Chain A
Amino acid sequence: MADYTKEFLMMTKAYEASGGDPASLSDGRIAGLTVSHRKILRSNDAPGVRIDGEATPTGVKAKITVDPGANVEYPVHLCFGVLPKEGIQEIVSEFHVGDGAKVTFLAHCVFPNAVKVRHVMDARIHVGKHASLQYSETHYHGEEGGVEVLPTARIVVDEGGTYRSLFKLVQGTAGDLRIDYEADIGKNALCEMDARVYGKRNDSIRVKESLYLNGEKSRGLAKSRIVASDHCVSEVVGEAIGNAPGARGHVDCLEIVKGKDARASAVPRLLVVDDRAKLTHEAAIGSVDKKQVETLMARGLTEEESVDIVVRGILR
């Protein structure tokens, strides 16, 4: 069997650089999956969590199952990365969270040396009845901007279930990022999707978050916070479709444009099918709010420092 120790150490370093705790990748108590390019370097189960992974010609296929009723003590750690300058990585994943289970995922996607890397994440997520899944995903794409990242997720939240996700890409460059998340939200279920991205140089960012409020009294939030600087182009599409009585959906988009060459657009789309559903949206696009900046300047900060604090706060 091949020895991936060196590669694992390198992945651990990249993981740490992106904000992850490297010790958690080796901790036997913590369920986790570490994938470097097309190799599974480590896969570990924990009480209530089973991870089945297999390498494919283009990446890895993984199935993660959380037992019904399990209250998973430690967050499940996922680490996907490509260390060489070039490569393609396709992750096809399934998440099954059993009825009444409670679990948190901490995912890190790292491409620290990328010059021409393509990362595709195709996820199918099923949150059982009255189950809870929190998914936090942090990306680090290096400084070259040569990354193409296409995360796609199809999420189903059953009755009384909760799904919350946070996607963060605020360090390094984004490259070409195209997020496409879509959730089918059941009766009394909740889905919150939050994406935060800092675009620089020639980055191209597209975030699409869709909420299908299919169950009675289902609730959804599609939130995005994008900062576009330099020559970055960003587009956010936030959708909410109210298909059931008492459903409540909200699309919340804030995009800050820094510099004269950056571009940002927002397309909220609300569709009420059942007239007892209620959908709302708020979108703000523009430079950093003048009042916020002047408030901080009145505390003695320079204009540049003030803008930085506002931007960092938004992306936090």
Chain B
Amino acid sequence: MLHLVDIGLVVEGRPILHDLNLRVLPGEIHAILGMNGAGKSTLASVVMGLSGASPTSGNIYFRGDDITALPISARAKLGITLAWQEPARFEGLTVGEYLELGSHGPRAGGPPAEKCLRLVGLPPDRYLRRTVDSTLSGGERKRVELASILSMGPLLSILDEPDSGIDALSLNLILDAVRVLAKNGASVLLITHQIEVAGSADRASFLCGGTILRTGDPREIGRFFRMHCQECPNMGALPGEVALHG
């Protein structure tokens, strides 16, 4: 589904990502596990094609086609979308209207807005007419973001820390919603720094210092993360100067 080949990103002379290779298979939930500053959100930006995140080297392939040069909208029309770690807020745009935007996706939308809200634990009658502005709490906004991804019916969802700011009781609900995405045929790139969340994926990759160091079973990657990152030898090191683990 998604194939990143030798991706490098240099910003203002500073390497952020380098020699990054990754494959996300069709219909799989693929977790990206890494410490703060490892480059996880940058990786999400590169795949979505956000401004300031055009790779300085390497290629991005989606369903076999090179999309490295495509703008955000074109990638979205192919079925790629992104849920931000801290989603933007919009004055004057209701939750219902925000979810309606999903009809611009490749499948002319996923499930109805009401169903998507229920999947993330938000009662539609209380939320559809609310505005996607600062009156929503951080947790509510994150859930609305995930609901909007569901409503788009994407082929590849990039979820940047969907678990951050979510209370423990709601976490399972969020992870269930992520599984619904995969069940509906989407691949999911699940970015997290929580081992437990990565454990819900089919496969996981460990990102450190701007590159993928390992890919494999999520439990194994989780153990590796736990063993090597408690006292990280690469803390403060620039990408490219990272001492390879294991």
Residues of A within 8 A of B (CB): 225, 254, 289-292, 294-303, 309-310, 312-316
Given contacts A290-B51, A303-B73, is CB(A298)–CB(B90) below 8 Å? no
Given contacts A294-B50, A299-B148, A301-B104, is CB(A309)–CB(B72) below 8 Å? no
* CB < 8 Å neighbour of B92 from A291, A301, A314: A314
A-B residue pairs in contact (CB < 8 Å), sample of 13: A254-B91, A291-B84, A297-B72, A298-B48, A298-B75, A298-B80, A299-B102, A299-B152, A300-B76, A300-B77, A310-B90, A313-B91, A313-B93
Cα of A315 to Cα of B90 in the assembled complex, Å: 11
Residues in chain B near residue A303, CB distance under 8 A? 71, 73
Listed residue (A295, A310, A313) with the most chain B CB atoms within 10 angstroms of its CB = A295
- B136 interface residue per 8 A CB criterion: no
| Nearest chain A residue, comparing its CB with the CB of B98 | A299
Residues of B within 8 A of A (CB): 48, 50-51, 71-73, 75-77, 80-82, 84, 87-93, 101-102, 104-106, 148, 152
| Nearest chain B residue, comparing its CB with the CB of A313 | B92
The 9 closest A-B pairs by CB, nearest first: A300-B104, A313-B92, A316-B92, A297-B72, A300-B76, A299-B101, A313-B93, A292-B88, A291-B88
Residues in chain B near residue A294, CB distance under 8 A? 48, 50-51, 72
A300 touching B73, Cβ below 8 Å: yes
Cα of A291 to Cα of B41 in the assembled complex, Å: 14
| Nearest chain B residue, comparing its CB with the CB of A254 | B91
B87 touching A295, Cβ below 8 Å: yes
B92 touching A315, Cβ below 8 Å: yes
A78 shortest CB reach to chain B, Å: 25
Cα of A291 to Cα of B90 in the assembled complex, Å: 10
| Nearest chain A residue, comparing its CB with the CB of B132 | A313
B155 shortest CB reach to chain A, Å: 12
Given contacts A291-B84, A303-B73, is CB(A296)–CB(B101) below 8 Å? yes
Residues in chain A near residue B102, CB distance under 8 A? 299
Given contacts A300-B105, A301-B104, A313-B90, is CB(A295)–CB(B73) below 8 Å? no
Residues in chain A near residue B148, CB distance under 8 A? 299
| Nearest chain B residue, comparing its CB with the CB of A316 | B92
B76 touching A297, Cβ below 8 Å: yes
Given contacts A290-B51, A291-B84, is CB(A298)–CB(B76) below 8 Å? yes
Cα of A309 to Cα of B90 in the assembled complex, Å: 9
B81 touching A299, Cβ below 8 Å: yes
Cα of A289 to Cα of B92 in the assembled complex, Å: 15
Residues in chain B near residue A316, CB distance under 8 A? 91-92
Residues in chain A near residue B75, CB distance under 8 A? 298
Cα of A292 to Cα of B75 in the assembled complex, Å: 17
Beyond A294-B48, A301-B76, A313-B93, 17 extra complex contacts between A and B, CB < 8 Å: A292-B88, A292-B89, A292-B90, A294-B50, A294-B51, A295-B88, A298-B75, A298-B80, A299-B76, A299-B102, A299-B104, A301-B73, A303-B71, A309-B93, A310-B90, A313-B92, A314-B91
Residues in chain B near residue A296, CB distance under 8 A? 101
Residues in chain B near residue A254, CB distance under 8 A? 91
| Nearest chain A residue, comparing its CB with the CB of B103 | A300
| Nearest chain A residue, comparing its CB with the CB of B86 | A291
Cα of A292 to Cα of B76 in the assembled complex, Å: 15
Cα of A298 to Cα of B78 in the assembled complex, Å: 10
A302 touching B84, Cβ below 8 Å: no
Listed residue (A225, A296, A298, A314) with the most chain B CB atoms within 10 angstroms of its CB = A298
Residues in chain A near residue B80, CB distance under 8 A? 298
| Nearest chain A residue, comparing its CB with the CB of B152 | A299
| Nearest chain A residue, comparing its CB with the CB of B45 | A294
Residues in chain A near residue B92, CB distance under 8 A? 312-316
Given contacts A290-B51, A291-B84, is CB(A298)–CB(B72) below 8 Å? yes
A287 shortest CB reach to chain B, Å: 12
| Nearest chain A residue, comparing its CB with the CB of B131 | A313
Residues in chain B near residue A310, CB distance under 8 A? 90
Cα of A295 to Cα of B50 in the assembled complex, Å: 9
Listed residue (B71, B89, B92, B148) with the most chain A CB atoms within 10 angstroms of its CB = B92
A299 touching B105, Cβ below 8 Å: yes
